[in-house]
Structure 1
Amino acid sequence: MIEASFGVKHYRSAKARFLKPVLMNFFAVECPRFFGPTLREKLADELINLFEALAPERTRIKPGQMLWNALDKNTRGDAPRRRYVPVVLTVVCEDDVEQLIQGARMTKISENAIARLIREAYEQGGILSSRDLALILNRETTWTSERRKRYEAEHACVLPHTGALHDMGSCVTHKTTIVRKVVLERKDPAVVARECNHCQASVDRYLKDYHRVKTLYKLDQDIEFIHLATQIAKHVIKQYIALIEEEEKTS
């Protein structure tokens, strides 16, 4: 059996959020005995043509904006029954152009645009992943992830993306950011939860894990032992240890 390529594994499921696949999937799930693949595709095409004729896109979307089917923020990307919500995203706006005119660097515009896209989707009930952003901006996922991290570091915030809210992917820096706000900045955990778009239970769990790591680290245990004892990922433990050392310097 030939193993699927990286492109197939990484991007194939992303097609499910576009209108035609959504319609075809609806017929497959709701009317499995009535419509075969060919008829489902034909019906989907006809419905799309009818919709576009009655509601031209130019009446719904402003210049620089686009429509995207984002993952519902109340469902996980790895859930068997994923839900999507249509969101209008501003890929480029007049202010972006004005900043470029004033000499701003494109990297800065890109970081601001990524933050704007993530926030716009969240405000409309959706949530974007690095893969979503990469597809929207025609970039690699590593590029969009790096730009997002730079923005979060510069603005000391956690953007509401899948890695932060659902603990998916390799994103862990949001945990350190949240703990830092409570431990070093002395903010109330409830305030931090609101600032970082997290539920109180998640913030409490991060703080609990941090103190578990701190207790063992104070007993001169190494990372391997702490990992085995707590089942916390090693790279998260390393970040917590760095924060513990920073806390000691400021105390």
Structure 2
Amino acid sequence: MLRKPDAYRRYHSAHQRFEKERLMDFFEKELPGSFGPNMREIITDEILKIFYENNRDIKSIKPGQVLWNAVHKDTRPDSKKRRFVPVVLTLTCKEDVELLENGTKMSLIRQRVISRIMNEALEQGALLSTRDISLLLSSHHTCISQQRIRHEKQNNTILPHTGSLQDMGTCLTHKYQIVYKYVVEKKDPMKIACETCHTQRAVDNYLKDFMRVKTLYFDGKDINYINVVTQIAHHVIKQYINIINQYVKERKIS
């Protein structure tokens, strides 16, 4: 038998470091005699084909998951310098199927999905907007907003999205809860930031704006005047006034 060249003997075993050769070696060792070399290669190629079809950008995507480019949590969607982050989101999973088997309403499953993918995006450094979710779930954005709000109220939580963390759109539920925690529950702003998935800066800004509106409102100024002086949007001022009327005036808390 002819001696193999030195280069072959030195480098040939390095093939075992690659996925195809490792799989073929696995079949040869664990299932000896079951497949010939040609069949081992065919099966290996099919396994790798399935693997790569279900993987994107070095991330292993499970059945029920999708890859989505979401806006980085530190940039706003309306910014010219916005950045995108590829995130893996779980649209459906085994637990969802089990809940459906047990007769859980589809609306509750939808709320569960919305909550899950919002938190998954944040864990991967991004934020989902209502538009993102409406595209992913093929639902009208109004329906998505309603489902999110119901989930937040039922679970006394604030889900992370562009409206709650970046003050995008007309979502104000987060302001209501932040001010409530500070004014009524007497919590420290740092703790509020942690509980509501907000930055400390965002919490401080909301509380500062609330105090400005409260001072002017107690001084008898109307919404238009407050808007001109503070440059706070009308709909935000109305939300703060509702909080003042409900928790500050009635309960005498300031």
Question: TM tier, shorter chain?
Answer: 0.7 to 0.9
- Per the alignment, residue 113 of structure 1 pairs with 113
CA shift digits 1:51-99 (9 cap, x unpaired): x898331692212111111111122212223222111111012222222
2:53 to 50, 56, 70: 56
Matched, 1:183 2:188: no
Which letter maps to 1:191? K
Structure 1 position 156, deviation (Å): 2.4
Contact 2:115 2:148 in 1 (8 A): yes
- Per the alignment, residue 153 of structure 2 pairs with 153
User: Whole-Å Cα distance in 2 between the matches of residues 60 and 205 of structure 1?
Assistant: 39
Which structure 1 residue ranges, 5 or more long, are not aligned?
1-51
Which letter maps to 1:189? P
User: Whole-Å Cα distance in 2 between the matches of residues 219 and 114 of structure 1?
Assistant: 42
- Per the alignment, residue 165 of structure 1 pairs with 165
CA shift digits 1:165-213 (9 cap, x unpaired): 2222222221122111111122111011111121111111111111111
Q: After superposition, where does 1:172-211 map in structure 2 within 5 Å?
A: 172-211=172-211
- Per the alignment, residue 10 of structure 2 pairs with none
Structure 1 position 161, deviation (Å): 0.6
CA shift digits 1:106-137 (9 cap, x unpaired): 11111111011100011011111111101100
Distance 1:107 1:53, change over 3 A: closer
- Per the alignment, residue 143 of structure 1 pairs with 143
Q: After superposition, where does 1:214-233 map in structure 2 within 5 Å?
A: 214-233=214-233
Q: Give the SS at the match of 1:86.
A: strand
Give me the TM-score of the superposition, normalised by structure 2: 0.73
Which letter maps to 2:250? K
- Identical aligned residues as a percent: 50
Count of residue pairs the alignment pairs up? 201
Q: Give the SS at the match of 2:87.
A: strand
User: Whole-Å Cα distance in 2 between the matches of residues 153 and 88 of structure 1?
Assistant: 26
- Per the alignment, residue 76 of structure 1 pairs with 76
- Per the alignment, residue 25 of structure 1 pairs with none
Q: Give the SS at the match of 1:174.
A: helix
What is the alpha-carbon root mean square deviation over aligned residues?
2.1
Distance 1:53 1:151, change over 3 A: closer
Which letter maps to 1:134? S
Which letter maps to 1:101? E
Which letter maps to 1:68? W
Structure 1 segments (4+ residues) deviating >3 Å: none
